């Protein structure tokens, strides 16, 4: 799209949303929204075709609706649609109030009442972005020091990845975007690919992907190939736990004040993810169990869910808001794949809570659970890591209290 005399992609436009100048970020936000609105009918039609096809696939396979089919296809043997609905309800009661506190704090710091959709990404104190390292050598060296302090075994694993050239971290011209860990299955070794440019997000990414890599290394001795990787709900416990555990040592990248700011941003991100996952997940539950619904009913449900899980003020932008689910790629490409991130986050927060009580014990449970690979069902993998595979309020409420307490501690200097 064209913006201020230049041709920009939507990703490039997102940078303007961090702009301290509110008028500029509002203008950028409105341009993105306007571009999306141009294709509203086309996107709705594509979705309706998918809806129709998916419903027929489910019926042909003998299922009552596509949700039942999708749960079976995704191999969800350890939790049901009803468990997901319980997860949504628990998040609403426990995490949404925490999100509202964060929004109120942001509103106050920015001096903006109410917050609008373009006020979410800017630093609330108008500071320039964090710059944790100058080049990839700095990222690798800092990460190595983090893992060495965390656990000698993990440190050795990361060192092995360096020695065997299993890291491709630098952004360069022509390189594919994104970041991921993958297993070189024959060699039974992990490989990390990413596009580091020197942002805070890059430190979070390397910690996350290293968690996946440690998982691959830990399970490499399993005889069966299928056991050398775990279900996604637990793979993300491995990676998200590493973000939290590794974050304890990010002074390797920052001054103490910067480290507090980075931690705060990370924890706020967790609160946001936990309240965003149920919006997208509950929407899919509704869509696939309400055959024959109209476009208007579908948007109304989306808006109801945004309100239910804590949103900012969209007055005057009703059309944009009703279509805002169009940007969630998962809804189109990988139906029902989303709640996994919420489930895994609950596991990761429990690993972190355990680590606060007993560092060595939590680390040894974490490593033992990783070593099981995919040889056990989810509840047993969670149990081995010292976590409960439960979605009730009693499990989630203490984790939210811990997050809020941590944010309060970090808040003094911010």
> From residue 66 to residue 85, what is the string marking binding to Zn ion with x (rule CB under 5 A)?
--------------------
Residue from 90, 200, 216, 239 touching Zn ion (CB under 5 A): that is 239
Stretch that binds Zn ion, among 20-28, 35-43, 105-113, 234-242 (CB under 5 A): 234-242
Write down the least CB distance from residue 293 to Zn ion, Å. Answer: 33
Location of structure tokens 């932008």:
317
Write down the least CB distance from residue 358 to Zn ion, Å. Answer: 26
Token couple for 14: 């997102």
Name the residue among 396, 385, 402, 305 with its Cα closest to residue 87: 396
100 Cβ neighbours under 8 A, 6+ residues apart: 310
Near Zn ion in 257-286, by CB under 5 A: none
Write down the least CB distance from residue 96 to Zn ion, Å. Answer: 25
**Coil/strand/helix, residue 183:** strand
Decide if residue 241 touches Zn ion (CB under 5 A). no
Q: What H or E segment, with its residue span, contains residue 253?
A: none
Write down the least CB distance from residue 208 to Zn ion, Å. Answer: 6
> In terms of CB distance, is 142 or 179 closer to Zn ion?
179
Near Zn ion in 384-403, by CB under 5 A: none
Calpha distance 88→280 (Å, rounded)? 10
> In terms of CB distance, is 180 or 332 closer to Zn ion?
180
Write down the least CB distance from residue 2 to Zn ion, Å. Answer: 35
Beta carbons of 119 and 110 less than 8 angstroms apart:
yes
Phi, psi torsion values for 206, nearest 5 degrees? -65, -40
Stretch that binds Zn ion, among 100-108, 216-224, 236-244, 306-314 (CB under 5 A): 236-244
Stretch that binds Zn ion, among 110-118, 146-154, 235-243, 360-368 (CB under 5 A): 235-243
Write down the least CB distance from residue 65 to Zn ion, Å. Answer: 29
Pairing of strands 189-196, 167-170: parallel
> From residue 192 to residue 231, what is the string marking binding to Zn ion with x (rule CB under 5 A)?
----------------------------------------
Write down the least CB distance from residue 209 to Zn ion, Å. Answer: 7
Stretch that binds Zn ion, among 8-16, 61-69, 232-240, 286-294 (CB under 5 A): 232-240
Write down the least CB distance from residue 212 to Zn ion, Å. Answer: 6
Upstream peptide bond of 114 is cis (omega within 30 degrees of 0): yes
> In terms of CB distance, is 94 or 239 closer to Zn ion?
239
Name the residue among 274, 331, 315 with its Cα closest to residue 117: 315
Beta carbons of 283 and 305 less than 8 angstroms apart:
yes
Write down the least CB distance from residue 107 to Zn ion, Å. Answer: 32
> In terms of CB distance, is 3 or 337 closer to Zn ion?
337
> In terms of CB distance, is 122 or 235 closer to Zn ion?
235
> In terms of CB distance, is 129 or 269 closer to Zn ion?
269
> In terms of CB distance, is 102 or 372 closer to Zn ion?
372
How many residues form the binding site for Zn ion (CB under 5 A)?
1
| Residue 189 β-bridge partners | 184
CA torsion, ordered 33, 35, 41, 47, to nearest 10 deg = -70
Binding residues for Zn ion, rule: CB under 5 A, are 239
């Amino acid at each position: 799209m064209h913006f201020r005399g230049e041709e920009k992609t939507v990703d490039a436009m997102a940078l303007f949303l961090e702009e301290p100048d509110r008028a500029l970020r509002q203008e950028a936000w409105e341009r993105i929204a306007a571009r999306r609105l141009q294709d509203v009918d086309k996107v709705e039609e594509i979705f309706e075709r998918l809806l129709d096809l998916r419903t027929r696939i489910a019926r042909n396979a003998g299922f009552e609706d596509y949700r039942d089919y999708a749960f079976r296809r995704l191999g969800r043997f350890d939790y049901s649609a009803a468990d997901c609905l319980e997860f949504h309800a628990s998040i609403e009661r426990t995490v949404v109030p925490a999100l509202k506190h964060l929004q109120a704090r942001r509103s106050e710091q920015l001096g903006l009442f109410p917050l609008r959709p373009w006020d979410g990404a800017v630093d609330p104190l108008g500071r320039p972005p964090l710059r944790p390292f100058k080049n990839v050598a700095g990222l690798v060296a800092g990460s190595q020091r983090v893992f060495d302090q965390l656990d000698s075994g993990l440190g050795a694993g990361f060192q092995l990845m360096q020695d065997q050239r299993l890291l491709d971290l630098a952004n360069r011209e022509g390189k594919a975007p994104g970041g991921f860990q993958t297993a070189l299955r024959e060699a039974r070794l992990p490989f990390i690919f990413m596009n580091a440019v020197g942002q805070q997000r890059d430190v979070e990414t390397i910690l996350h992907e290293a968690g996946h890599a440690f998982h691959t290394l830990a399970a490499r001795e399993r005889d069966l190939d299928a056991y050398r990787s775990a279900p996604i709900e637990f793979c993300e416990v491995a990676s998200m736990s590493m973000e939290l555990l590794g974050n304890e040592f990010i002074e390797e990248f920052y001054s103490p004040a910067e480290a507090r700011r980075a931690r705060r941003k990370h924890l706020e991100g967790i609160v946001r993810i936990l309240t965003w996952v149920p919006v997208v997940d509950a929407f899919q539950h509704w869509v696939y169990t309400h055959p024959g619904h109209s476009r208007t009913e579908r948007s109304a449900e989306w808006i109801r869910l945004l309100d239910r899980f804590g949103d900012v003020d969209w007055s005057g932008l009703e059309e944009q808001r009703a279509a805002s689910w169009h940007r969630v790629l998962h809804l189109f490409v990988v139906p029902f794949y989303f709640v996994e991130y919420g489930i895994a986050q609950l596991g990761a927060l429990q690993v972190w809570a355990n680590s606060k009580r007993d560092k060595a014990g939590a680390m040894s449970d974490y490593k033992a659970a990783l070593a099981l690979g995919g040889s056990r069902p989810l509840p047993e993998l969670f149990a081995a890591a010292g976590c409960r595979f439960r979605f009730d309020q009693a499990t989630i409420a203490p984790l939210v209290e811990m997050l809020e307490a941590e944010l309060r501690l970090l808040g003094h200097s911010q």
